[in-house]
Amino acid sequence: MRIDGKVVVITGASEGIGAACAAEFARSGARLSLTARSEEGLKRAAGSTGLVTAGDLTSEETRRLVVERTLDRFGAIDILINNAGVGFYLPSWSAPMEQARGLMELNFFALLGMTQLVVPHMRARGQGMIVNVSSIGGKMTLPWLTIYSASKYAVGSLTEGLRMELRRDNVKTMLVCPGYVKTGFQQHVTAGQAPESLVRSRRMAITAAECALAIRRGVERDARTIVTPKSGWILVALARLFPALMEARMAAMNETA
């Protein structure tokens, strides 16, 4: 898909991958509609021309407002980047149900809600792309982020199902599975802390800008799935070919938490 002139809605756009996507797509000529809780962060990411809608994306009212304001301003939505998400470092067997539900509300149901609002518009126009930001944890379960991984597996399945459902309407979907990205994710988790071995490995993480570049290039070539960095595909392949070995390795990393 050619990005120049396209209208791009990005959730979770006040910092991290979302803000980096805003900068990357703006450089390619996109018109931006950004949403997140932080209005100040959104204004920094949007520049002088982007549309900003601050609010809680788990609220249906906020989601409707984002879509309505975007259509009022630009008259179209060409690309939806569902990026907003949160995690926590708690064992699944002891995580408070309220926190587990809150995680699923943002990571999955808010994403589904935005998709349901935008897809009818895209179908009517016979074009569009839904970009869902998942995680390497949506391809292989990370035991220090088990419930987060479950939410991202759900995002992956939804993205693949949407691709088949919308094929005849020329509305495409792309799944994005970042590995370790230098963002504030660990600082924003709602509880717990990462294993020390994981913290050390993040020194080799990619930047949010590198992740955004991979997303932009994926959109341009109508990619189905992006794993970034590409070396993440090796981990995914090993997890599928040698599941017992990889589970033992991941469990050992988790024991350092």
Residues classed as catalytic: 148
Q: What angle do CA 56, 60, 65 make, to 5 degrees?
A: 80
DSSP 109: I
Query: Is the distance from CB of 205 to CB of 135 less than 8 angstroms?
Result: no
Query: Is the distance from CB of 227 to CB of 179 less than 8 angstroms?
Result: yes
Question: Strand, helix or coil at 129?
Answer: strand
C-alpha to C-alpha distance for 156 and 142, rounded to whole angstroms? 15
Other CB atoms within 10 A of residue 51 CB: 19
Pairing state between β 171-178 and 225-228: parallel
- Which distant-in-sequence residues (6+ apart) come within 8 Å of 220 by Cβ? 1, 2, 3
Nearest one of 31, 8, 15, 55 to 211, comparing CA atoms: 15
C-alpha to C-alpha distance for 257 and 99, rounded to whole angstroms? 20
